[in-house]
Structure 1
Amino acid sequence: MMLQRPSADSSGPGFTPLVVVELASDTKEEAIAWLLSRIRDQQHNGGDGDDFLSMAECQYIIKHELDTLRAKDETHVPGYTQVKLYPGKSIIRRLQSKGILIQFFPLHEKEELKRLSFSWYKKMKLSFQPLDDIRHYYGEGQALYFGFLEYFTIALVPMALIGVPYYLFDWEDYDKYVVFAVFNLIWCTVILELWKRCSASLAYSWGTLSRKKAFEEPRPGFHGVLGFNPVTGREEPLYPNAKRQLRIYLVSLPFVLLCLYLSLYVMMIYFQMEGWALSVYDEEPTFWTGILLFIPSIIYAVVIEIMNLIYRYAAEFLTEWENHRLESSYQNHLVLKVLVFNFFNCFASLFYIAFVMQDMVLLRQSLATLLITSQILNQFMEAFLPYWLQRRRNKKMIHKVRKRRTLEDKELPLAEQVRLEAEMSTYLGTFDDYLELFLLFGYVSLFSCVYPLAAVLVVLNNVTEVYSDAFKMCHVFKRPFSDPAANIGVWQLAFEAMSVIAVVTNFALIGMSPQVKAYFPESETQLILWTVAIEHGLLAFKFILTFLIPDVPKHIQIKLAHLEFESLEALKKKVK
């Protein structure tokens, strides 16, 4: 089933498929007829100018219509008495969960995709990404991610340039990293504030800066008793907030705490392995026992990635079970669960080494091993493995299509494209991409003063990430539905929270430096008091800096005010 632009004759040359809906091969006719009738009930007559909406926007509208299909008086899906329905239940979600609806996805546009691929990743160049073209083809959500990835990479260059000489000429003199830590404090604050301005400029040029979310539609997975929204007066599912809160605090919260305890237990096992490897090296310091020193960190890094992956699935299940009404609320709770666990899982051992063991050599070694191992695993899982699997799938599908065309000479190229894209991997959104950048930002902002090459490694990772992500978006994944957005959402708060933790962490490392301790030879209490006082002062300065740097550039503020003035004037004339 293909949903297309309205046209006088959909079988003629004006036929432009937008979204493919794949049903199970044995789907009953009455169920198909019922689904089509429900879809058509939601459509409205009207023109469709080719230049008014982009293809991505048209596809988003279709997805919105499908997501808002709700059961009314039906007790079951026609032809499937066992598939129960009740008023307010999402029809699409129900069909997917029962295997009647396999998938639905927007089709790629071959010529546009070729042009985008060439300007995006097919030629090596020292220039910015074509964000406007990415936005036109994939939507604002994906374009803002790639914009942030590019911005983050450029912002890391000063850190990398300063870090290389520090690493080369001050290998063991950790005291001199105090200056690097001070630079770190300023850097992590300024780049996030400047990104807000950059993000606002992009969103304004795309027309989404003033996008309001006050009246979000209920998310497709939300279920409840069908009733009327007292604000909009629309019929939609209703679910008691008290019941949701009980699920959060009596089930989700204890589960997260249990996972944190298990993560702490695994960390203690890692330190036992580290101690064993060190004792072996002390007894017989050889080349092989020297290599053995890195094995516990490598194993721990792999275990961390596995634990993060398992926890991610559990967090998604729990957040879905909590039954949040709005997509924004769902995302906020999911991000909070995942970030708390990932932060603890990835950084707890580093904090323990830095502030309990106070072993800067081991801290540098552990940070380097965790960073390098995680990047190698991520590149393998995100770039090489999907590409290899997709190549195998494409070869099989092309063989099937060619064989079918020898038997049926009337096979249409469009049908071939649909079959090929149906076999492609599904893009799961920018969540994992932002999470990876969040963890990399944490490694750099928290402890790069101890291991200055961290910024260099992250820059190299991000450069390859741009090209691998671009390739995957164009040739490995199905085309995702566009995601209208004005900013990077809750991730901005996540990065800002990390920057606050970075200020405290870096100043604590400064306070532990022998250079600083030399100023307080007699009283450790005075050292702690002065460290805390100055750290609070720096936090205050950080928040003042946040206040002084406007989130939206002045010229855009003026343009928005002018647009609002013109809207009010037009409204006055209409009233008169």
Structure 2
Amino acid sequence: MSEQQQNTGPASFSHLFPVPPGTPTTEQKPPSTQQQQQQQQPAVEHTNTLSSNAGVDYVIVFRFPTDKRDATIETRVRDSMIALTAKLTRANLCYQVKPGRTHGTLLVLVGCPTSTLEQELERERIRDFLLGIRVKGLDDEDAGLGDTTGLTDAERLRVVYEILTGPESDGGANVSPNLDPYVESIMALHDDRFDKEWIHSWSRKWLIDKDDLTKIRNHFGEKVAYYFAFLQYYFLWLIAPASVGGLMVMFGGRSLSITYSLGMLIWSVTFIEMWKRKEHELAVEWNVRNCSKHERKRVEFKGDRTVKDQVTGEEVPYCPPWKIFTRRAMSIPGVAIGAAALSVIVACVFVLQLFLHEYYNGPFRQILHYAPTIGYVLLIPTMTNIYSAWMRILNNYEMHKTETSWEYHYTQKIFVANFLVAYLSLFFIAWIYIPFGDHVLPYLTELNVSHSHQKVDFQRLRGQLVYFVVTGQLIGFATEMILPYAMKLVMPKVEKVLHKDEGQDADTATDLSDDAASSKFMQKVYKEVDLPDYNIYTDYVEMVIQFGYVSMFSSVWPLTSLCCLINNWVELRGDALKIFDLSHCVLKVWVPGLETWKH
């Protein structure tokens, strides 16, 4: 994408709606001789990802309703697009508007010129030095502060994203799905060549080495690199308890061993502390220590007034600490109510399951046997989604200044739901069902309920744990990997059938492209737009929940660590495939570590 495409926005989508009289239009002037000479030079610094994506850094998905022709809606959509392209122009970003694969979708392809990138990079490096993030002095640089030589793909995309979403007072475009009408998302594009090479390389290795982590960090950013570093570190630490647990089962060692339980306790604490040390080493090596100081304020954080930052001199919104503390304290009862409601639902479903499976022997037993499973499938996900939406409302009420703070507190609230769903049934069996299960029989006799029940022992607890560790992880792998790949193969054929009678289907959309190369590139863009976002939260939740099974319940079933070890070896490769092929390219975020998850 060259700089001469910078003002082609309105002309690219004006054919979609009739332009009413009096609407201002953008008239392009012929470039001067000096401008023509400048346009002959490459406008964008071509890193590997950039060169493979036709100079496009980000794609803004602009989606609007098309169910009915309404002049008001058409005017609103046109004004929103004009406002969006005006923002990009003021931020000195190149853009081109293309029709989407489906009706009602426009794709704004955004590229950052070298001059704009250098200016932002210079401001960032000065800001980092003032905040104590960069350890080198400003005079120690061999090249200029804005020099882009050696800039990795992740660093470039992170800086461009800050230009794209930063406030206009700082030279940014201030584009956000939360602010701009009809802007659905902002996404980067995959580097297909890098993805194929990396998958081929990993398929021939048992473990990833330091160079592999460096490649991940340079291409996907620190957030993804930290996840893979943690997953491999955790995988290696699981070898010891997996070996001991396997030997215990092989030589007939008894379960519920106090010695083994004490050993797992020591192992868990040692692992956490050693990971903190490893995390600190990576932060120093990747130069992201204290990078949270660099983070800008959230757009949603308005504050009561603006004050001047003592370090950077910028005008920033300010809210008194007592007001923020009061709001966060007021959200605690809301979290407690949500957790209590979810706990009641989970407990009721599990108690019903125990009653029908372990006690009930009356009419329709075979049919009622499946009632808890149906209830679990229908109720638990629905209640979890309601709980998550409620936590998001509470989190927004707390007025967090930065995205890191918002995500930190939101993760803590949401993890309560994951904790209850994952562990409540195990705690119920261990602390209520096993000690008091036999006391239920006299009450069933008094109520004339036909029942049959064997003596309660810890085998029921072991069976539940085996389900979570083996069956649950297999189901999780199927839903994460097998089902998305199947949908990826089936959905294009379904779309062809659905769109064959429409005026413009998925294939003819690219006929608007200028040449074969452009058509091929737009096909790639269309495919990636249809992919879901990658949510690293779900992967972290899976690992943290699994760590809880290993550290708290391995004495019940010593093979827990071995099963998790095997699962994590597959998970290392499965998550890589998911990031490369089954989701949007990950947004590059500067993080100093695992943040919330290590606590």
Fold agreement, TM-score > 0.5: yes
Query: How big is the shift at 1:456?
Result: 2.1
1:446 equivalent to 2:552? Answer yes
Query: What is the CA–CA distance in structure 1 between the aligned matches of 2:205 and 2:345, rounded to whole Å?
Result: 47
Residue 591 of structure 2 corresponds to 485
Q: For structure 1, which segment, 318-327 or 306-315, has the greater mean C-alpha deviation from structure 2 after superposition?
A: 306-315
Q: Which AA in structure 2 matches 1:39?
A: A
Query: Residues 153 and 298 from structure 1, CA distance in 2 versus in 1: closer, same or farther, beyond 3 angstroms?
Result: farther
Query: How big is the shift at 1:363?
Result: 1.6
1:17 equivalent to 2:99? Answer no
Query: What is the CA–CA distance in structure 1 between the aligned matches of 2:332 and 2:493, rounded to whole Å?
Result: 44
Aligned to 2:92, which of 32, 40, 59? Answer: 40
Q: Deviations over 1:141-179 (max 9, x none)?
A: 1011011111112211222222224345548x445x222
Query: Residues 197 and 352 from structure 1, CA distance in 2 versus in 1: closer, same or farther, beyond 3 angstroms?
Result: same
Give the root-mean-square deviation of aligned CA atoms: 3.9
Q: What TM-score does the superposition give when structure 1 sets the normalisation length?
A: 0.70
Q: Which AA in structure 2 matches 1:214?
A: K
Q: Is the 8 A contact 2:301 2:400 kept in 1?
A: yes
1:146 equivalent to 2:260? Answer no
Query: How big is the shift at 1:460?
Result: 2.5
Query: How big is the shift at 1:12?
Result: 12
Query: How big is the shift at 1:297?
Result: 8.1
Query: What is the CA–CA distance in structure 1 between the aligned matches of 2:492 and 2:300, rounded to whole Å?
Result: 32
Aligned to 2:207, which of 127, 130, 142? Answer: 127
Q: Which AA in structure 1 matches 2:87?
A: L
Q: Which AA in structure 2 matches 1:425?
A: P
Q: Deviations over 1:214-243 (max 9, x none)?
A: 353102443345622443431233345444
Aligned to 2:460, which of 362, 379, 382? Answer: 362
1:278 equivalent to 2:392? Answer no
Query: How big is the shift at 1:300?
Result: 5.4
Q: For structure 1, which segment, 46-55 or 335-344, has the greater mean C-alpha deviation from structure 2 after superposition?
A: 46-55
Query: What is the CA–CA distance in structure 1 between the aligned matches of 2:360 and 2:176, rounded to whole Å?
Result: 60
Query: Residues 34 and 192 from structure 1, CA distance in 2 versus in 1: closer, same or farther, beyond 3 angstroms?
Result: same
Q: Is the 8 A contact 1:390 1:425 kept in 2?
A: no
Aligned to 1:228, which of 307, 320, 326? Answer: 307
Residue 375 of structure 1 corresponds to 473
Query: What is the CA–CA distance in structure 1 between the aligned matches of 2:395 and 2:479, rounded to whole Å?
Result: 25
Q: Is the 8 A contact 2:221 2:589 kept in 1?
A: yes
Query: What is the CA–CA distance in structure 1 between the aligned matches of 2:255 and 2:45, rounded to whole Å?
Result: 72
Q: Which AA in structure 1 matches 2:195?
A: L
1:66 equivalent to 2:164? Answer yes
* Total equivalences in the alignment: 465
Query: Residues 51 and 119 from structure 1, CA distance in 2 versus in 1: closer, same or farther, beyond 3 angstroms?
Result: farther
Query: How big is the shift at 1:9?
Result: 4.3
1:417 equivalent to 2:524? Answer yes
Query: What is the CA–CA distance in structure 2 between the aligned matches of 1:360 and 1:111, rounded to whole Å?
Result: 52
Q: What TM-score does the superposition give when structure 2 sets the normalisation length?
A: 0.67
Q: Is the 8 A contact 1:426 1:477 kept in 2?
A: yes
Residue 72 of structure 2 corresponds to none
Structure-to-structure mapping, 1:519-538, within 5 angstroms: none
Q: Is the 8 A contact 1:67 1:220 kept in 2?
A: no
1:191 equivalent to 2:278? Answer no
Q: Is the 8 A contact 1:93 1:221 kept in 2?
A: no
1:434 equivalent to 2:518? Answer no
Residue 472 of structure 1 corresponds to 578
Structure-to-structure mapping, 1:150-229, within 5 angstroms: 150-170=232-252, 173-174=254-255, 177-208=257-288, 210-224=289-303, 227-229=306-308
Query: How big is the shift at 1:337?
Result: 0.9
Q: Is the 8 A contact 2:342 2:417 kept in 1?
A: no
Query: What is the CA–CA distance in structure 2 between the aligned matches of 1:481 and 1:94, rounded to whole Å?
Result: 17
1:103 equivalent to 2:185? Answer yes
Q: Is the 8 A contact 1:244 1:323 kept in 2?
A: yes
Q: For structure 1, which segment, 3-12 or 443-452, has the greater mean C-alpha deviation from structure 2 after superposition?
A: 3-12
SS state of the match for residue 27, structure 1?
Answer: helix
Query: Residues 324 and 38 from structure 1, CA distance in 2 versus in 1: closer, same or farther, beyond 3 angstroms?
Result: farther
1:316 equivalent to 2:395? Answer no
Query: Residues 229 and 45 from structure 1, CA distance in 2 versus in 1: closer, same or farther, beyond 3 angstroms?
Result: same
Residue 115 of structure 1 corresponds to 197
Q: Deviations over 1:430-471 (max 9, x none)?
A: 222111111110011001101112212222222222222111
Residue 550 of structure 1 corresponds to none
Structure-to-structure mapping, 1:72-91, within 5 angstroms: 91=175
Query: How big is the shift at 1:89?
Result: 12
Gaps of 5+ in 2: 7-37, 65-76, 94-114, 120-143, 436-456, 500-504
Q: Deviations over 1:46-73 (max 9, x none)?
A: 587564211111110111122222589x
Query: How big is the shift at 1:137?
Result: 0.9
Q: Is the 8 A contact 1:20 1:106 kept in 2?
A: yes
Query: How big is the shift at 1:138?
Result: 0.2
Query: What is the CA–CA distance in structure 2 between the aligned matches of 1:457 and 1:307, rounded to whole Å?
Result: 30
Query: Residues 268 and 20 from structure 1, CA distance in 2 versus in 1: closer, same or farther, beyond 3 angstroms?
Result: closer
1:345 equivalent to 2:421? Answer yes
Q: Which AA in structure 2 matches 1:326?
A: T
Gaps of 5+ in 1: 73-87, 494-576
Query: Residues 45 and 461 from structure 1, CA distance in 2 versus in 1: closer, same or farther, beyond 3 angstroms?
Result: closer
Query: How big is the shift at 1:364?
Result: 1.2
Q: Is the 8 A contact 2:533 2:583 kept in 1?
A: yes
Query: Residues 364 and 295 from structure 1, CA distance in 2 versus in 1: closer, same or farther, beyond 3 angstroms?
Result: farther
Query: What is the CA–CA distance in structure 1 between the aligned matches of 2:511 and 2:411, rounded to whole Å?
Result: 50
Q: Is the 8 A contact 1:298 1:373 kept in 2?
A: no
Query: Residues 307 and 465 from structure 1, CA distance in 2 versus in 1: closer, same or farther, beyond 3 angstroms?
Result: farther
Aligned to 2:561, which of 425, 437, 455? Answer: 455
Q: Which AA in structure 1 matches 2:414?
A: V
Query: How big is the shift at 1:377?
Result: 3.5
Query: Residues 275 and 214 from structure 1, CA distance in 2 versus in 1: closer, same or farther, beyond 3 angstroms?
Result: same
Query: How big is the shift at 1:366?
Result: 1.9
Q: Which AA in structure 2 matches 1:18?
A: D
Residue 78 of structure 2 corresponds to 27
Query: What is the CA–CA distance in structure 2 between the aligned matches of 1:302 and 1:475, rounded to whole Å?
Result: 30
Q: Which has the higher contact order (CA 8 A, sep 6+)?
A: 1
Query: How big is the shift at 1:478?
Result: 1.5
Query: Residues 312 and 163 from structure 1, CA distance in 2 versus in 1: closer, same or farther, beyond 3 angstroms?
Result: farther
Q: Which AA in structure 1 matches 2:423?
A: F
Q: Is the 8 A contact 1:353 1:362 kept in 2?
A: yes
Q: Is the 8 A contact 2:554 2:560 kept in 1?
A: yes
Q: Is the 8 A contact 2:117 2:159 kept in 1?
A: no
Q: Which AA in structure 2 matches 1:20?
A: V
Query: What is the CA–CA distance in structure 2 between the aligned matches of 1:201 and 1:241, rounded to whole Å?
Result: 33
Q: Is the 8 A contact 1:440 1:458 kept in 2?
A: yes
Q: Deviations over 1:230-258 (max 9, x none)?
A: 43431233345444444433345324334
Q: Is the 8 A contact 1:294 1:369 kept in 2?
A: no
Query: Residues 117 and 401 from structure 1, CA distance in 2 versus in 1: closer, same or farther, beyond 3 angstroms?
Result: farther
Q: Is the 8 A contact 1:2 1:19 kept in 2?
A: no
Residue 386 of structure 1 corresponds to 484
Q: For structure 1, which segment, 47-56 or 345-354, has the greater mean C-alpha deviation from structure 2 after superposition?
A: 47-56
Query: What is the CA–CA distance in structure 2 between the aligned matches of 1:12 and 1:44, rounded to whole Å?
Result: 9
Query: How big is the shift at 1:305?
Result: 5.6
Q: Is the 8 A contact 2:356 2:368 kept in 1?
A: no
Query: How big is the shift at 1:18?
Result: 1.6
